[in-house]
Chains A and B, each alone.
Chain A
């Protein structure tokens, strides 16, 4: 649905986006991560034709964002970072204006407005002036505006910023729901959000793609942590013979050892480890698995210089 090839966008001599290439398949939810100023917003602005690329190309639903920009824009619902509005307009009036601009047929317009306001939970403020709304309502209104013409592609720049925890949860549910029949690119700083919503992650750093992979692949590195007692040499020797072990290390606390087993693949060997412990009659008081979180990954990538 979205193809980006070697996209570069320079402001003066500074490349905000530098040779970025990626594809997004139909009905995929892709998380767009990166520290502030990494080039996420710029990439999104190029995709929505607000900015033109310095070099490289991007196509949305098969339409080039420069040469066929109007066709591309018809198929995108966009929630910009700052969620700008006309503060003097009323909610329903604003949505109706946007629906007309986005060519929602007159006959469907009323029904579509009601449906979208219901879905984004702004129906109760439909006659209020936008300037008087709280941040949470505005954010949801922005989302309602983005989906008003039922676009196949959604580009959401930090959709949950400024919401309270309950609203964040509701908005995530909504995005997940929308993702069932839409292609979504979502930028965010909230890493658990990505883990919750996205199939695939693109981490962008200093204008370049640092990591692009499925979430499963990214967080597959598992560790098993045991607090165990017994002959530590026996323990490490025995465990080393199990399949898929990358490394075993331990620290001692009195009679107990904290053993960390790093696994090299995704195979679940917890049961085998447990069997070994029982067979050898070692004492055990803790057994847990740990995953590398996206957060660790993010910090590792974005702090190395």
Chain B
């Protein structure tokens, strides 16, 4: 545990040493602020923040690959992975701490949007339960995105490649739920809906907390983290 904490702190420090973090934060806040204004001014009812959250969910899909791209790719490229893996720490500790740091970075990224909620409380009567649920869903969803990004980052040493592959995988995951529409049978539709990210996120966004959605997120996260650990370990046997 102590090692994970030490490693997580280092990862977070490195995030904020690079200009990329500030570019991501600025871009994210600009976009989400603009859409918040658009939706709230345009819809102006209790559900407005739903659409804002949906939009933030989509932005997360674009931003997550940028958050995770350097995590392992950079260590491999610069050779620091050798230093890391010859220190008395395990691959699991390295992967988990990188994952935690990316998730913490994401949470820090969306924190300022809480200001929108406060604004809404000030001016109207938003459904707070649904909003909290929506944020929870957003974090779960981003958790999945980041685990996939970390996984991709583990098998390349090129950050651009990592960001593109991750983005493609996430985009497919986002739209695959709609592929069910090509089938006549209901069970095909259900399968595709279950696989895709969107349906699960949509449930959260609407204020539904269903253990199946959590299970979906957690199992994907664990699955990808497990694969990542395996890939980092595999370098020893190549």
Contact = CB atoms under 8 A, between A and B. Distances in A.
Interface stretch (B12-20, B106-114, B194-202): B12-20
Nearest to A74: B88
Given A89-B17, A97-B6, A103 B88 contact: yes
Contact of B80 (A70, A84, A93): A84
B14 A89 contact: yes
Contact of A84 (B6, B78, B89, B237): B78
B238 interface: yes
B38 to A, nearest CB: 37
B7 interface: yes
Contact of B82 (A50, A86, A102): A50
A88 interface: yes
A51 to B, nearest CB: 5
A97 B84 CA distance: 11
Interface in A216-235: none
Nearest to B84: A101
Contacts of B17: 88-89
A49 B90 CA distance: 11
Nearest to B79: A84
Given A52-B236, A74-B88, A102-B88, A45 B3 contact: no
Contacts of A98: 83, 87
Contacts of B2: 100
Contacts, number: 68
A51 B232 CA distance: 11
A50 B78 CA distance: 15
Interface string A126-165: 0000000000000000000100000000000000000000
- Greatest chain A CB density within 10 A among B17, B83, B85 is at B83
B23 to A, nearest CB: 15
Nearest to B83: A84
Given A84-B79, A89-B17, A101 B238 contact: no
Interface residues of B, number: 24
Contact of B13 (A50, A51, A89, A102): A89
A71 B87 CA distance: 10
A82 B83 CA distance: 10
Contacts of B235: 50-51
Contacts of A76: 86
A45 B235 CA distance: 12
B162 to A, nearest CB: 18
A102 B87 contact: yes
Contact of B79 (A48, A80, A103): A80
Contacts of B7: 101
Nearest to B17: A88
A11 B238 CA distance: 6
A78 interface: yes
Interface of B: 2-3, 6-7, 10, 13-14, 17-18, 78-80, 82-83, 85-90, 235-238
Interface of A: 11, 45, 48-52, 70-71, 73-74, 76, 78, 80, 82, 84-89, 93, 97-98, 100-103, 145
Given A50-B235, A102-B87, 5 more contacts: A50-B236, A80-B82, A87-B78, A97-B10, A100-B6
